[in-house]
Amino acid sequence: MGENKGRGWSLGLAGLLTPVTFWLGIFFVIPLLFILAYSFGTSGVYGGITLGFNPSNYLKVFDPLYLKIVGRTLLIATLNTLLCLALGYPLAYFIAFKGRRHRNALILMVMIPFWTSLLVRAYAWVVILGGNGIANKILQFLHLTDKPLNLIFTPQAVTMGLVYSYLPFMILPLYAALERFDTRLKEAAQDLGASRWHTFWRVTFPLSMPGVIAGSILVFIPSAGEFVIPDLLGGSRTVMVGNLIQQQFLNARDWAFGSALSIILAVLLIGAIMYYVRRVGTDQLEGG
């Protein structure tokens, strides 16, 4: 009987794992291996590709033109993460500690934009920042400018759109971390004579670090790979790596270079997550 049961379990396990192995194996892992192979290939004139071991696609990234795009992407994504943290932390703090019985309603109000289509939210900014849009009307009303400024298709417009789109991704994990926070720790620090400022930086903030990390990853990763928002709000003048990849696959038909760019983006971003989690993780262990 026991033997039978053992075999039954392993059969059960095989049954549970077959679908995921099949689906993620064929439609996630193998496609990634395809672009890895293509990234060392050579693109033909008519869009075909010859496999081989050709490192030139990777070397092409060091062309100042492309290096500038990579630099801009990292800069915009970092700026976006910091801005989301600066706007999101006080809000999450307010909901967690001052929200009282309105907490659920306040967090629901963050969820609504979070669940709303990203394209709808990007479109709102296309309208607002557009030639004769509300942003320009407000600026003119405040006499900050006398004729409409060129607001859309700038790095600032892209950053604005990104902050707007990704802010809820920062607030939700921050709130989750702060909500679990034991307020007696704050009281203890203050009873021992720490000022509120000190209490915040020495007690509250370090303990909310898991939320800060989770939020930063959730904001940084997709915004560094973003292509819709720079496409709609940045135009051809504020190209990010995502747009460059898209161009290689759809317009330029240089699939080898596009694949190399994709591999670089994936390695950079996943490497950044691992580094970040590990570094902040050990810092916390040392501090604790």
Partner 1 sequence: MGDSKGGPLSRGLGNLSDRALLLFTGFVYLFLYAPIFVLVFFSFNSSRSTQTWTGFSFKWYGALLQDQSVLKAFYTSLIVGVSSTVIATAIGTFTALALVRYNFRGKGFTDSIVYAATVMPEIVVGVSLLVFFVAASIPLGITTIIIAHVAFNISFVTIVVRARLSGMDRSIEEAAQDLGANPVNTFLRVTLPLILPGVMAGALLAFTLSFDDFVITFFVAGVGSSTLPLKIYSMIKFGVSPVINALSTVILVTTVIFIFGGSRIFMKKEEG
Q: How far is the CB of 242 from partner 1 (least distance, A)?
A: 5
Count of residues that interact with partner 1, criterion CB under 8 A? 89
Q: How far is the CB of 36 from partner 1 (least distance, A)?
A: 9
Per residue in 13-42, is it b (16+ CB within 10 Å) or e — as a string? eeeeeeeeeeeeeeeeeeeeeebeebbbbb
Q: How far is the CB of 286 from partner 1 (least distance, A)?
A: 25
Among 1, 120, 192, 285, binds partner 1 (CB under 8 A): 120
Question: Is the CB of residue 233 less than 8 Å from the CB of residue 152?
Answer: yes
Distance CA 43, CA 75 (A): 30
Q: Alpha carbon of 89 to those of 52, 60, 84, 101: distances in Å?
A: 49, 40, 8, 20
Residues between 91 and 110 with contacts to partner 1, criterion CB under 8 A? 91, 93-95, 97-98, 100, 104, 108-110
Q: Is 141 in the site for partner 1 (CB under 8 A)?
A: no
Among 82, 118, 139, 252, binds partner 1 (CB under 8 A): 118
Q: Is 24 in the site for partner 1 (CB under 8 A)?
A: yes
Distance CA 238, CA 55 (A): 27
Give the phi and the psi of residue 226 in degrees, each rounded to 5. -65, 140
Among 1, 2, 19, 288, binds partner 1 (CB under 8 A): 19
Q: Which amino acid is at 255?
A: W
Among 6, 7, 12, 55, binds partner 1 (CB under 8 A): 12
Q: Alpha carbon of 80 to those of 123, 201, 219: distances in Å?
A: 18, 23, 8
Q: Alpha carbon of 232 to those of 98, 101, 119, 136, 174: distances in Å?
A: 38, 40, 9, 18, 29
Question: Is the CB of residue 277 less than 8 Å from the CB of residue 220?
Answer: no
Q: Is 28 in the site for partner 1 (CB under 8 A)?
A: yes
Residues between 208 and 227 with contacts to partner 1, criterion CB under 8 A? 217, 221-222, 224-225, 227
Q: Is 82 in the site for partner 1 (CB under 8 A)?
A: no
Q: How far is the CB of 37 from partner 1 (least distance, A)?
A: 9
Q: Is 188 in the site for partner 1 (CB under 8 A)?
A: no
Distance CA 156, CA 168 (A): 20
Q: Is 123 in the site for partner 1 (CB under 8 A)?
A: yes
Among 80, 159, 238, 246, binds partner 1 (CB under 8 A): 246
Among 210, 249, 252, 253, binds partner 1 (CB under 8 A): 249
Q: How far is the CB of 62 from partner 1 (least distance, A)?
A: 20
Q: How far is the CB of 125 from partner 1 (least distance, A)?
A: 6
